[in-house]
Homo-oligomer: A and B are copies of this chain.
Amino acid sequence: MLKKIELFKEAGFKDNAINNFLVHDSPYFKVINFNFKAGQELPIHSHDIEGQVSIAVLEGSGAYLGKDDAVLPAETGDVLIADISEPHGIRATSDMRVLVTIAPPI
């Protein structure tokens, strides 16, 4: 089965929290859409396990956050790759949609 998800229609924004939409979970990878209102932030975090994460910006802009106060501008079309064990976070400057893929799934 092909499974199609229309994120721009199916997932919205919340005023008081990041909107978290599970796109797919399987033994191979986990795909999550996070929508941030301008100013919302996913704080820097990490998990002490094997694997990597990709974070693609589908819409809007903000920053990728890393350890030691690292701030990397994040614009539509940018992709960040990190080990899951490596501190990473996201801050939104405008309303912002990102697609996160975790492999293997957490």
Contacts and interface: CB of A to CB of B under 8 A. Distances in A.
A8 B76 contact: yes
In the complex, the count of this chain's copies comes to: 2
Interface residues of A, number: 42
B2 A26 contact: no
A96 interface: no
How would you classify the secondary structure of chain A's contact residues: helix, strand, loop or mixed? strand
A101 to B, nearest CB: 5
Among the interface residues A3, A59, A70, A88, which one has the most CB atoms of the partner chain B within 10 A? A3
Interface of A: 1-9, 23-24, 26, 28-29, 31, 50-52, 54, 56, 58-59, 64, 66, 70, 72, 74-82, 86, 88, 97, 99, 101, 103-104
